[in-house]
Each structure stands twice: as C-alpha cells, then as structure tokens.
Structure 1
C-alpha cells in the first residue's frame, strides 16, 4: 500500500487553496506559486496514484535510494541524482522502491506561465525522468523553497519560494546532459557545504546525492579539496563563527546554532580545540 506522507523527520507544507486563489489573482504574482512542498527522508512505502489529473506541475528530486514513476508513456525507474517532472493535466503515479526507498525533495507549482514553460522547456510526460547534473545546486534551491514556505504564507515569502522554484525549473531545462567529471562533482559538493553550514550533513548523504559510494566520494573530496569532508565542514563553520563573534553581539548559543551546532557546549569545546580559547574569550580579544 502506498502512503502519501507521515515519514519520520519529514518536512511538508500545503498552502491553503483559498490563499492560492488570492495569490494568483494579483497581476504581479499570477505567473507561478508553490502550492505544496516538502522533504521526505527514506520514505518507505511512499507513493501517489493520480488517475484524475491535477492542475499543478510536480517536481520530485531523488537524492538517495530509488523509486519509479508512471505516465501514459510507460514506467520509468528513478535513482539518486535524478528528477521526476510531471506536467499538469495528465494522470501519473510514482512511488519509492520497496527495498531501497528514496529520499525526496519535492514541490508542486501552478500559475499562468507553468504550461507554457513546461512545453517550451520540453518538460513532458514522455520523458519525465532526467538526470540532475548539479544536484547540490538544485537541492539548495529545493531547500530554499521549503524554508520560505515554512516561514509564513505572506506574499513576500511566497514570491521568494516561487523564485527558487522557478530557478530550479530553468536548471532542469538548461542543464547539459551527461555525467559531470569528478572535479565538477566535488566542487559542487563543497559549494553545497559552504551554503548549508547549519545543516547536519553526513559524508554518506553527500555521496548518495552524487551517486558515489561514501569511500570513493571521501577520497575524491580529499584529493580535490585537500582535506576530509568533516574537517572542511568544521573549518568553514569555525570561520563563520569567528565572523559572527567579531561582527555581532549575538549570544554564543545563537551563533552555535547558525553554524550547525545545536549543542552550544559542544560548539564551545570544538571552538577552543581549534582556537585555544573559548568563544567568549575570543570575542573579548583585541584584534586588528
């Protein structure tokens, strides 16, 4: 039996339909709106069967595991670093693999420009699955969509979510086909780490997004960047922490959370290990 949601640690937002209608009635925002979005980790038994078409374009990005989708053109397998794009107005179904369920970022969009864009960009049900060359960039945009939708349903937040969703759609339309080389993959991964310092990223998750084993990804990362993944992440987090300590009056606990350490005591220990002094003492030092 397929289930549509309810997975441990999931994130999911559904915009009330009256708010969707109000938003689309405004000339400045009628082009596109995110109606639903979310993140489903290791979504066992996840799936949808839509015999009656819906009015939204559906985007699913698989970052780990496997799944499938089905349109009038047939059944298609889905793997990590692949996206499923299902245009509005057509029946479809999709689901997670039974043995290796997918981890998904996803959203639905509608608006006056969606049908035209999908047609011009070749986003059709005949070829609903396509490789995502820069998976880290796309996932950053998907994360941004969900974050804006989680913030509130005011027009500025919905406009920001729509902008990120539109950007992702243009990447699906414009990306070169074929696999990226190892230098590209690692540079994309490093950029993803840099722009998501507060996320609790693991080597296994980063590797899965690029369809590599953890050991192979780790070796490539160290070769191209010059340090292991965790050490690189820690270096970036501590650099950002120093910047915040020097330029803001934010409490140490707040800074710790902003750079990916929910436990401020652990952050302080890590900071002292690298800098020789606790964060508060570092802030009080004369610099410059």
Structure 2
C-alpha cells in the first residue's frame, strides 16, 4: 500500500507539520488504520477513498480518530494533485467535520473550514499550573485557548504536558498572542491524543482566525505557528467559514507492508 509523508504549511522539508497520507481503493478496517497511525507516530495520518467525483477523508492520531484536521487535509490534497489527479484544481472531501473543499492555486492549497469562535471560559489554578504562566484571557471551543501577553511568551512557553493531559476541559490546548511580524502567533498541544505539540495545527485556526479577525478588525490575516518546526498560514474569514492557505513539500514515499487485516506480510 502506497504511503506518503508530506510537510504541510512548509516551503522546505523539516518545516511545517508532517502528515502521513494513504490513498485507498477501499476502506481498511478501523483498527488497521488506527494501528498504522500509531506505527507512524505522526500527529495525524490521513486515509482517503474516492467516492464518485469526491473523496471521503478520515484522520487518525496515534491514539484515536478525530473529526477535523487541517494540515493532513492539505497534505492529502497535495498528494492527490501530485500523484493522482495532476489536472484537478479542486478537491472535495466528505469528513466527520463536514464537507471540506481545497482549491489548488499555483503552489498554494486553500482550505475552506467551518469557523468556530471560542467562548470565554473560567481560568483555574490547574490551568495555570499546567501552562506555567497566567494567561490574560481564557476561551473554550473544541480546545482550550489561552491568550498570552506577547509573542515571546508564546515562543518560550514550556508547559507540563502531563498536567495539560489531566485538564478536564478541551480536547487540546492552544496558546496565542498578537504577533510582531505576523498578525498573530500560536502554538498547539494535544497530549490527550499522544501528541505533545502539534507543529502547525489547521483545526486550531478555526478558532484563532475568527477570534483575531474580530480583535484586530480585519478578515485577512497572516499567522505563524511558533513550534520548533514553524509554519505560516494565510487566513481569511468569510462569514461562518475560514479559509487557510499554505504550501506543502513531499518528504517521503513508501510502501507499507501490510494486508487488509493489518497483519504484516511474510
């Protein structure tokens, strides 16, 4: 089975967020896909099957299937455009998070995701202890979101991942601040999914884009994720949708030595 590793939101290898991508003729058993994702040990592995003119797309972390993932969607569109449908300019994906459309615009891939404005939430001592800093604002959507005072705080934060994992609210944790060079900066952590830090998290920007668009009074923004790898996202808020664009780079192409049962071929 063909397998690709793509650095999404990257201009060069070793930047952005690596995702595994498998384009399948038919679905594998769920436990097989989960085992592949765990074996890959990337933040997400995407699996896609063509259904008519569109694709059904699913994402697995090393621990569980999730309902929305930005960088692995970009990576899947990149693989399809590079190896399967080089003349296509649009890819439509049916997912647990709804219908997602990716447009190919030169070297950029533009993703259309639902906007999810986070709601104010009560800050607790457990949150402060887990972060190692006191945020100036706290919000909750799918993930907890903490606003910090400045870009340096976001860059230098060293949270206690075991304590983040024990927080009862939110699937993940995002920290953010207004940027110095970019409109806003962020980092994202998902220890509950066995991913301590997600290098560039597209789904977190479903919260971040509407928040910062309202805060900064502009609908077009350029964001930077300040993980060690780093990544840049070109963002647009349009009503109840957010658009994120970025580039991608192929890191690896391989053949997985498994059959449909998930057992190793001998």
> Which range, TM-score by smaller chain?
under 0.3
Greater strand proportion: 2
- Please identify the structure whose Cα radius of gyration is greater: 1
Higher relative contact order (CA 8 A, sep 6+): 2
**Structure-2-length-normalised TM-score:** 0.28
Which protein has the bigger helix share? 1
